């Protein structure tokens, strides 16, 4: 796909021309086409280069009469921010090969450090921020007027910057980094971290149950409710190294030392050193085929009531072979995001021990105990209680049962669940997870939900086009003064959303017609219209005794949805290397656990060598829905996503919606009139 000089989008791309920049698949040729449309540009080529291993930047080489800032503004007005090159190199002419093609090997290497401004910091805060910018971005120096993202920063790096700033005594959030961008402007909003607050946030002691724990009740402490990850283990790892490394991790992350209190909705976290790591580590001799059985046996040794929340099993393949390391944790103390913290920490600790160094892990920001307390406070606050009526209105009246009857907790239990997965075709997957969000200024989850809601309505023949869905999220919501970037625990949250889709236009949407664009815009706006940030539903439903009865008696969503996110699978197709996961996070549940949704939908994106892979999964109550019915629903979801992808390749696809302009009172038709008047090239800003 590329932009023409007239601002139209046409499909010309080749997958093998794509590069990955900051998590996005990009065709440099498309960027060059937009740049070439500038009247002062005579020649240009855009390539991906890196000044640090594993990190790439787009670089534009240009023969032009305009300067870098003018060229940057030209692209920023027509392309998403991640497609704007980090550096512009002005040349008298492009080097050519004897065949007349651009000689890429002869292009001069860009000097990213040369892009920094000259003004030196005037205050101590500016000095600290300039140093932190340089550290995170890998530059020798940064000026106070330099933009974080213009120097190659991204969202992950913004989290690293905020975390390092906090350790340096400055309270910053990733959102402030996005908004302010430069050390000069960040210095104006940064506030000193207060020593008192840091001391008061002690993760040891009683921890009240969070909403997700209340939702499962006493079943939450069942021994079978666990997650595990399998890693490649270094040859000859050794129990002593593993035990010492695990001890450091246990002392760093409070919730791993938690103990469930029988009959009470709370946990008690012990002091560092209160859990004996040696009792949690074991060694077995087994082959790769036996690893899952090893994990399941380790699950049986978990006992949250006794504070046994972790098991580490070294699957030894001998002194000269890489074995496996099976890490098991009770779900009460971890979630999917927690593993992204735990695995690097365990590796760092074990490697330090093996090398004879003192293991030093980065400190944790806000404790889970403090987070739990904040949730309890919010649940009874006036602002949250004021959301109750809106949640009740959203839940509305009960919907007809999906399978002819309501779920029965005595019949529809975890062992009766059936599962089926589908892989979105590769040529459509990149469009669904990258092009559609860029064109419609929305998230991947909103695109997936648009396809799911349309599929369920189409599958049911629901004339009113209404569907109530429970959306699960990671639960680490941004709160001022809270840093959960390294906090381990079970944060999962959920909230309902009612989606109204145009039932009479779904065939057109599935075929890639204009209704597909209208569908994405409508669902995007409905998702963003939920009360507050969505967290209030769980708080009012489970932590406020005054509001809980009203929501307990309201209709419950029959369909669940969980977008698991985007993960890098790596380029190796061979055995997992030391400390590298052999797969994703696996898990088990208590066999008596009731099914919570008639149909649960999930999606995950994995970055592979050839581009993003999108897998969608349906899980359904096997005694409620027939396999053929569930298969038809899954195929319809797949077809709807295909229709959305096909539509987005058309020149007039995309556009803004009212939620993109919170300070303006614009209706959808007014936005579309403005877009039509000012040209289609502005749709993908």
pLDDT of res. 91: 92
What 3-state DSSP class applies to 467?
strand
pLDDT of res. 197: 41
Residue 204 confidence (pLDDT) above 70: yes
φ and ψ at 229, to 5 degrees? -135, 140
Strand partners of residue 57: 49
Closest CA to 338 of 213, 229, 231: 229
- Altogether, the residues listed in the chain come to a count of 685
pLDDT of res. 310: 98
pLDDT in tens, 230-270: 999 887 688 999 999 999 999 999 999 999 999 999 999 99
Closest CA to 487 of 497, 474, 498, 469: 474
Burial class (CB in 10 A: 0-12, 13-18, 19+), 604: middle
pLDDT of res. 52: 43
CB atoms near residue 577 (< 10 Å): 13
Strands 324-330 and 466-473, bridge-based pairing: unpaired
Of the segments 324-333, 567-576, 663-672, which one has the largest average pLDDT value? 324-333
Strands 466-473 and 559-568, bridge-based pairing: parallel
Place of tokens 């004897």: 98
DSSP string across 291-304: HHHHHHHHHTT-BG
Percent of the chain at pLDDT above 90? 55
**Alpha-carbon distance 392 to 387, whole Å?**
9
The fold of the 124-192 domain, in CATH, is 1.10.1200
What 3-state DSSP class applies to 415?
helix
Whole-model pTM: value is 0.74
pLDDT of res. 1: 31
pLDDT in tens, 568-619: 654 343 456 789 888 888 999 888 889 999 999 999 988 777 778 999 999 9
Between 357 and 148, residue with greater pLDDT: 357
Between 155 and 482, residue with greater pLDDT: 482
pLDDT of res. 340: 87
The fold of the 205-369 domain, in CATH, is Chloramphenicol Acetyltransferase (3.30.559)
Strand positions, DSSP E, 256-322: 258-260, 266-269, 281-285, 310-316
pLDDT band at 81 (very low <50, low <70, confident <90, very high): low
Residue extents of the structural domains in the chain? 20-90, 124-192, 205-369, 380-474+489-678
Residue 507 confidence (pLDDT) above 60: yes
**Alpha-carbon distance 464 to 143, whole Å?**
57
What b/e readout covers 633-646, taking b as 16+ CB neighbours within 10 angstroms?
A: bbebbbbbbbbbbb
What is the torsional sign of CA 598, 463, 424, 649?
negative
Structure token pair of residue 5: 């000089």
Under DSSP, the state recorded for 410 is T
Cβ partners under 8 Å of residue 684, min gap 6:
9, 78, 79, 80, 438, 439, 654
DSSP string across 423-462: E--HHHHHIIIIIHHHHHT--HHHHHHHHHHHHHHHHHT-
Question: What stretch of H or E contains 129?
Answer: helix 124-137
Closest CA to 423 of 612, 271, 566: 612
Of the segments 129-138, 149-158, 363-372, which one has the largest average pLDDT value? 363-372
pLDDT in tens, 2-40: 333 333 323 333 333 566 565 556 778 878 888 888 888
The fold of the 380-474+489-678 domain, in CATH, is Chloramphenicol Acetyltransferase (3.30.559)
Closest CA to 318 of 237, 248, 242: 237
Q: Check if 205-369 and 380-474+489-678 are the same fold.
A: yes
Average pLDDT, the chain: 86
Whether 49 and 66 have beta carbons less than 8 Å apart is answered as: no
Residue 384 confidence (pLDDT) above 50: yes
Compute CA distances 549 → 468, 506, 552, 553, whole Å.
20, 37, 5, 6
pLDDT of res. 56: 63
pLDDT in tens, 414-436: 999 999 999 999 889 989 988 89
Task: Supply the CATH classification number for the domain 20-90.
Answer: 3.30.300.30
């Amino acid at each position: 796909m590329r932009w023409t000089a007239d601002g139209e989008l046409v499909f010309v791309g080749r997958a093998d021309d794509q590069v990955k920049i900051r998590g996005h698949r990009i065709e440099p040729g498309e960027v060059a086409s937009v740049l070439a449309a500038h009247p002062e540009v005579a020649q240009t080529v855009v390539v991906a280069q890196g000044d640090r291993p594993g990190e790439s930047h787009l670089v534009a080489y240009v023969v032009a009469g305009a300067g870098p800032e003018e060229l940057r503004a030209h692209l920023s007005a027509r392309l998403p921010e991640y497609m704007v090159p980090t550096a512009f190199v002005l040349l008298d002419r492009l080097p050519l090969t004897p065949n007349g093609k651009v000689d890429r090997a002869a292009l001069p290497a860009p000097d990213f450090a040369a892009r920094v401004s000259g003004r030196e910091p005037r205050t101590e805060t500016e000095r600290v921020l300039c140093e932190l910018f340089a550290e995170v971005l890998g530059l020798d120096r940064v000026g106070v007027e330099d933009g974080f993202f213009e120097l190659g920063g991204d969202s992950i790096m913004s989290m690293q910057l905020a975390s390092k700033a906090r350790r340096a005594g400055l309270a910053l959030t990733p959102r402030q980094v996005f908004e302010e961008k430069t050390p000069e402007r960040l210095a104006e909003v940064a506030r000193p971290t207060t020593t008192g607050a840091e001391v008061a946030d002690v993760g040891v002691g009683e921890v009240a149950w969070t909403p997700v724990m209340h939702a499962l009740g006493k079943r939450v402490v069942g021994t079978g409710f666990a997650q595990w990850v399998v890693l490649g283990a270094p040859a000859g790892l050794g129990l002593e190294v593993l035990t010492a490394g695990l001890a450091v991790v246990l002392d760093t992350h409070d919730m791993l030392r938690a103990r469930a209190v029988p009959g009470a909705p709370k946990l008690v976290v012990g002091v560092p050193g209160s859990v004996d790591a040696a009792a949690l580590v074991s060694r077995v001799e087994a082959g790769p085929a036996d690893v899952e059985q090893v994990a399941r046996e380790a699950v049986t040794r978990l006992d949250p009531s006794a504070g046994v929340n972790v098991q580490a099993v070294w699957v030894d393949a001998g002194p000269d072979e890489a074995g496996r390391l099976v890490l098991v944790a009770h779900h009460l103390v971890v979630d999917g995001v927690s593993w992204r913290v735990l695995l690097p920490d365990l590796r760092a600790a074990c490697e330090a021990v093996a090398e004879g160094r003192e293991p030093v892990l980065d400190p944790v920001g806000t404790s889970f105990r403090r987070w739990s307390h904040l949730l309890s406070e919010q649940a009874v606050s006036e602002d949250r209680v004021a959301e109750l009526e809106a949640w009740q209105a959203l839940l509305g009246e009960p919907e007809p049962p999906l399978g002819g009857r309501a779920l029965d907790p005595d019949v529809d239990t975890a062992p009766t669940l059936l599962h089926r997965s589908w892989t979105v075709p590769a040529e459509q997957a990149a469009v669904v997870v990258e092009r559609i969000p860029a064109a419609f200024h929305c998230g991947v989850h909103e695109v997936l939900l648009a396809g799911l809601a349309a599929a369920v309505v189409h599958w049911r023949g629901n004339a009113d086009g209404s569907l109530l869905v429970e959306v699960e999220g990671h639960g680490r919501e941004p709160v001022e003064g809270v840093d959960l970037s390294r906090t381990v625990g079970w944060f999962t949250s959920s909230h309902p959303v009612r989606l109204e889709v145009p039932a009479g236009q779904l065939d057109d949407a599935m075929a890639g017609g204009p209704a597909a664009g209208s569908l994405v815009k409508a669902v995007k706006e409905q998702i963003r219209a939920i009360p507050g940030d969505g967290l209030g539903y769980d708080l009012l439903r489970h932590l406020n005794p005054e509001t809980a009865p009203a929501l307990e008696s309201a209709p419950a969503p029959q369909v669940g949805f969980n977008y698991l996110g985007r993960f890098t699978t790596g380029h190796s197709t061979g055995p997992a290397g030391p400390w590298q996961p052999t797969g994703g996070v696996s898990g088990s549940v208590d066999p008596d656990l009731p099914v919570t949704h008639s149909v649960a939908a999930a999606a995950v994106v994995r970055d592979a060598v050839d581009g993003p892979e999108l897998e969608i999964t349906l899980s359904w109550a096997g005694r409620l829905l027939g396999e053929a019915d569930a298969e038809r629903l899954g195929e319809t979801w797949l077809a709807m996503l295909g229709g959305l992808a096909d539509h987005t390749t058309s020149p007039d696809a995309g556009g803004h919606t009212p939620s993109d302009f919170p300070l303006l009172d614009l209706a959808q038709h007014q936005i579309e009139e403005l877009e039509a008047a000012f040209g289609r090239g502005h749709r993908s800003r």
